[in-house]
Amino acid sequence: MVEKVVLVTGAQQGIGAACALAFAAAGHDVAVNWLDDRAAAEVVAAGIRAAGRRAALIEGDVGSVAGCQAMVQATLEALGRIDVLVNNAGIFPRVPFLDMTEAEWDRVLGVNLKGSAFCAQAAARAMVAAGHGGAIVNLASSAVRGTPVGVHYSATKNGVVGITRSMALALAPQGIRVNAIAPGTTDTAQPRYGNTEAELQEMARALPLGRMGKPEEIADLAVYLASEKAGWVTGQVWHINGGGYMP
């Protein structure tokens, strides 16, 4: 196993936190990006250190290009290099299409799509400057098929698929692989915004596998995609959703 330094955006909770802990368990050092809950990020960092790995807390908002660049620079200063980026940070403020405002559209695209693109750019620049390859894992969503209360969100996740494929082509000569994971309904705080527990359980029972996904299951796939075992895998979108969507 080759030890790596991994930056996970939006790692204070949910899938991001699970990814941070899974990479540490696999023997890697992790930069934990957080936005508004340092205490939660500290818990994740403690879990990383308990696994015997280094952890760095990186505050920052991926919604600005300067923020993306600053968190990559902070990772380099704290941990010395960056080998893997997990572009996990994202928002899904549910709103009916007819009520959606320009400000809501701009905010969701700014975080989910622009943030993913420019975090990847900053991380890839650092990888190229260091003279080694790397891996980028973007978080898409099964919402690529559409959602009536998230036109802006669906647009960003389809965009993530597009930039994943294009970045994979652009960065292949530098030995940087880029893939995307598109989770279905996962047992985190996010699907609970706008859904009751009863509604969530009904949605889960409707899936072929009859349950919501676990954040750790998404994280395990991210670890694989960043590993040498996936050394010939790039430009792909991995759907993990209990059989609810089979493109």
CA dist list (Å): 46 to 78, 86, 103:
16, 19, 37
Question: Of 141, 142, 154, 227, which is the active-site residue?
Answer: 141
214 is catalytic: no
* Residue 149 CB partners (closer than 8 Å, separation 6+): 94, 95, 96, 97, 194
Closest among 202, 240, 196 to 221, alpha carbons compared: 240
* Residues with Cβ within 8 Å of residue 120, at least 6 apart in sequence: 85, 87, 136, 138, 163, 167, 178
**Residue 229 a catalytic site member:** no
Structure tokens at 38: 């340092």
Helix (H) or strand (E) holding 58: strand 55-59
Q: C-alpha distances in angstroms, 107 versus 7, 101, 143, 210?
A: 23, 10, 18, 34
Whether 157 is catalytic is: yes
Q: Which of 4, 142, 154, 157 is catalytic?
A: 157
Which residue is catalytic, options 142, 153, 154, 227?
153
Residues serving a catalytic function are 141, 153, 157
